[in-house]
Structure 1
Amino acid sequence: MRKSGSFALFALGFRPFFLAAGLSALVLLGLWLAFWQGVVPAKGYFTLVEWHAHEMLFGYASAVIAGFLLTAVKNWTGMAVPTGRLLVIISSVWLLGRVLVVTPGAPQWLVAAVDLAFIPLVGWSLWRPLWHGQNRVNRMFLLIFAGMTLANLLVHLDVMGVARNLWPRGAYLMVDMVLLVLLLVAGRVVPFFTEKAVPGARSTVRPWVEKGTFISMVIAAGAELALPHGPVAGAALLAAALIQGVRLAGWYHPGVWRVPILWVLHVGYAWLVLGLTLRGLSGFGVLLPSVALHAITVGGIGVLTLGMMSRVALGHTGRNINDTGPFIPVAFVLLNLGAVMRVFGPWLAPQQFNLWINIAGGLWMLAFLLFALVYTPILIRPRIDGRPG
């Protein structure tokens, strides 16, 4: 393929990292279910629960974010982003981190060093356009990269025995950092996509909502880190949920339901609103934090990132962004059903917990299997319009 000029996996950041995210979402859940059922012995750096949480956040979610920013920053700033050999190096660090954490007998210092290196490496590769670009808001991504690195450090310090009870705080901090990225990105693309795809749609963007979005989320993240699962964090999360609900309502138009690549973004954002609400309520003891967490991770992060990867990959390979084909809308539905099963099944019928886990995991895997089958050829081949990227 390389000799014929038909191999373009490292032409732009979305290609290797969206492929890595799609395949890892499939493989990681498959391994998790095998570990969970005892079919495969769980051996490696993390315990079973730690591994699942870490890899879905620092494996899958970080790959999606890296792929998106290594692509979008070029459009936002007009400045160069990593391609070619540098992109191969960044991708290899991500992959090596995934392998080492499940390698029995791997030195702890090596596992931690490689895994911790990935996010700073992405930040270093993007610092110049993010810092020197005209839009100063983009500098916030550098602070988010720092927050993600701190979150990962807290996890590794706990696992290595340097400190105790830090990995849950690290995991929740990473969730909040991922949310900040999604809130920043969604505010730019969802209203724009809606107006572009739906005739007559006009999104309402309120300045106080945009400022409140990030202020409330930063406060909530700080409260959750300092006083986890308490009423202070709960109140901050409920305030963030309210603001996000108002934000989403301003973007909505009934016409979004005619466009799968658009309704999935609105539904994914609605999951974020629901997840923040449930997390807020869990701070007051109304429900278990794990229920709220999976509303955000499976529903919000999972659905929104699947929609974003599908949309970006089509647009940046020269294809019709509305032409998802017959299988990707099915993947969107399957993933939403999986989120419903994972969140509400154990809540309503906890005695069937294992059943809900298996069903939700199976639906997640089917959704990402469809994504991998459809998008692997798209991601590894050049743009159909002959343009670079």
Structure 2
Amino acid sequence: MKNTSDATRDLPRGMSRTGPVLFSYGFRPFFLASALWAIASLNLWMAYLSFGVPVASDYGTLYWHAHEMLFGFAPAVLAGFLLTAIPNWTGRLPIAGRPLAVLFAIWCAGRITMLLSGSTGIVPAAAIDSLFLPVMLLVCTREVVAGKKWKDLKVIAGLFVLSLANVLFHIEVIDGAGPELAIRFAIGAYVLLVTIVGGRILPSFTRNWINQFGRTDFPVPYNSFDAAIIIIGAVAFVLWAYAPHSTATWGTAGVAAVLNMIRLVRWRGWTTWPEPILFVLHATFLFVPLGFAAISVQAAGWLAEVAVLHVLAIGTISMMMLAVMTRAIRGHTGRKLKSSRMTNVSYVLLGCVALVRPLAELIPALSTEILAAAAIGWTAAFGLFALEHTPLLWSGRKPLTMRGG
């Protein structure tokens, strides 16, 4: 029989058996809140479009909508992922309990003050909202440096860019200018994170899955070819941010589209079709080359930027976030890595939204109907996610398996 101290040492990292379950691991509060805010903020935006309901009017409802997608919903998912993944990378204990609750409260304060910016004032709201990403940056940098995982600093660099982009967004709005530059920088940062982390997890997950069947047709692991493609993608995004209609942007984004397609093929994603929770990661990464292709077409003057933004924001960023959330929740609550029928439906719905929403700019006569259909699909996708996963996030502790005899 083990004594209490021995049993405590055998607890898996982050699986404290006391205190609120919600704050026992980073993915729990942030994944749950991100889904709920994805639904609430989008429907507030649609209420404004459809019925003229005033929403953050002093800030500008259009700008508020763009901000809350890029700097409200998305950072919550990113925080949940990083606060869960970094302990695995570094071997250090995860942020949990009161520190996690404080970090979550900072995120919530940003959402509330931005929504009520007409009462709080735009500048105070922007100042409070701008706290979360830098704090996340400091926390994650501390963990990576303490764990001496220097190669993971490139992921931290993405947080740094997002922090600057958020501040730039507020400055541009307060100065009366459009925040298009900040939006392009933010989307570029998120997509680069997808190309970095995706290049790490997709070949690994796929190899592990293929290996179960005794096969040897493994995907090509991350190598210098992948690193070169990420650098080319970064150059393309910088060019797009500063000169979205230049010849250099057209050419570089076109090259990035082709190379990322080659990269995706090297991962042999089609072999994972029988396993939707894995296949969806490959299907989502397809929006990376599609997004670069859209940037190239925009630079040539054949596509509106709003359409490009939604290809990347919904197809590449939001779909990857949904796919990663469903997988992480199952893995970290002791469930089998198998997607349910409800989860598979949410994947399909969000994929349809990613394909349909850009059509609002291509078919102006049907823009109202297209926006409504996209909003319904988005709400349904994240609604199904919340319906299925809230019980796991709120109260589902991972079953405790003790080591030793």
TM-score of the superposed pair, with normalisation by structure 2: 0.89
Structural mapping, 1:85-104, within 5 Å = 85-103=98-116, 104=118
TM-fit CA distance, 1:217: 2.3
- 1:185 to 1:266, Cα distance in 2 relative to 1, 3 A: same
Counterpart of 2:244, as a letter, is P
d(CA) in 2 for partners of 1:304 and 1:319?
A: 20
d(CA) in 2 for partners of 1:242 and 1:310?
A: 29
CA contact (8 A) 2:269 2:279 kept: no
CA contact (8 A) 2:284 2:316 kept: yes
CA-to-partner distance for each residue in 1:74-127, whole Å, 9 max, x for gaps? 001112332111111111111111111111221222211111110011111111
Counterpart of 1:298, as a letter, is I
CA contact (8 A) 1:93 1:117 kept: yes
TM-fit CA distance, 1:251: 0.7
TM-fit CA distance, 1:48: 2.1
Structure 1 equivalent of residue 127 of structure 2: 113
- 1:368 to 1:314, Cα distance in 2 relative to 1, 3 A: same
CA contact (8 A) 1:205 1:247 kept: no
Structure 2 equivalent of residue 30 of structure 1: 43
d(CA) in 2 for partners of 1:6 and 1:356?
A: 45
TM-fit CA distance, 1:263: 1.6
Structure 1 equivalent of residue 9 of structure 2: none
Structural mapping, 1:207-246, within 5 Å = 207-246=223-262
d(CA) in 2 for partners of 1:229 and 1:356?
A: 26
Structure 2 equivalent of residue 334 of structure 1: 349
TM-fit CA distance, 1:206: 5.7
Structure 2 equivalent of residue 264 of structure 1: 280
Structure 2 equivalent of residue 365 of structure 1: 379
Structure 2 equivalent of residue 177 of structure 1: 189
Structure 2 equivalent of residue 376 of structure 1: 390
TM-fit CA distance, 1:40: 1.7
- 1:284 to 1:129, Cα distance in 2 relative to 1, 3 A: same
Q: Which has the larger radius of gyration?
A: 2
- 1:77 to 1:45, Cα distance in 2 relative to 1, 3 A: farther
CA contact (8 A) 1:44 1:101 kept: no
- 1:192 to 1:384, Cα distance in 2 relative to 1, 3 A: same
Structural mapping, 1:57-96, within 5 Å = 57-96=70-109
TM-score of the superposed pair, with normalisation by structure 1: 0.93
- 1:53 to 1:42, Cα distance in 2 relative to 1, 3 A: same
Unaligned runs of 5+ in 2: 1-16
2:202 to 177, 190, 197: 190
- 1:28 to 1:387, Cα distance in 2 relative to 1, 3 A: farther
**What SS does structure 2 have at the residue aligned with 1:105?**
helix
TM-fit CA distance, 1:301: 1.1
Structure 2 equivalent of residue 344 of structure 1: 359
Tell me the C-alpha RMSD between the 2 structures.
Answer: 1.9
Counterpart of 2:201, as a letter, is V
- 1:387 to 1:111, Cα distance in 2 relative to 1, 3 A: farther
Counterpart of 1:51, as a letter, is W
Structure 2 equivalent of residue 248 of structure 1: 264
CA contact (8 A) 2:306 2:361 kept: no
CA contact (8 A) 1:70 1:81 kept: yes
- 1:107 to 1:345, Cα distance in 2 relative to 1, 3 A: closer
TM-fit CA distance, 1:241: 1.7
**What SS does structure 2 have at the residue aligned with 1:101?**
helix
- 1:186 to 1:351, Cα distance in 2 relative to 1, 3 A: same
CA contact (8 A) 1:265 1:304 kept: yes
**What SS does structure 1 have at the residue aligned with 2:183?**
helix
TM-fit CA distance, 1:239: 2.1
- 1:256 to 1:41, Cα distance in 2 relative to 1, 3 A: same
- The more displaced of 354-363 and 253-262 is 253-262
- The more displaced of 188-197 and 173-182 is 188-197
Q: Is 1:299–2:315 an aligned residue pair? A: yes
- 1:221 to 1:253, Cα distance in 2 relative to 1, 3 A: closer
Structure 2 equivalent of residue 386 of structure 1: 400
TM-fit CA distance, 1:345: 5.3
Counterpart of 2:60, as a letter, is T
d(CA) in 2 for partners of 1:77 and 1:35?
A: 45
Structure 2 equivalent of residue 51 of structure 1: 64
- The more displaced of 44-53 and 284-293 is 44-53
1:14 to 1, 7, 27: 27
How many residue pairs were aligned?
Answer: 381
CA contact (8 A) 1:272 1:296 kept: yes
CA contact (8 A) 1:331 1:368 kept: yes
CA contact (8 A) 1:341 1:356 kept: yes
Structural mapping, 1:140-179, within 5 Å = 140-161=154-175, 164-165=177-178, 167-179=179-191
TM-fit CA distance, 1:303: 1.3
1:313 to 329, 354, 371: 329
TM-fit CA distance, 1:346: 4.0
CA contact (8 A) 2:330 2:336 kept: yes
Counterpart of 2:236, as a letter, is A
Counterpart of 1:234, as a letter, is W
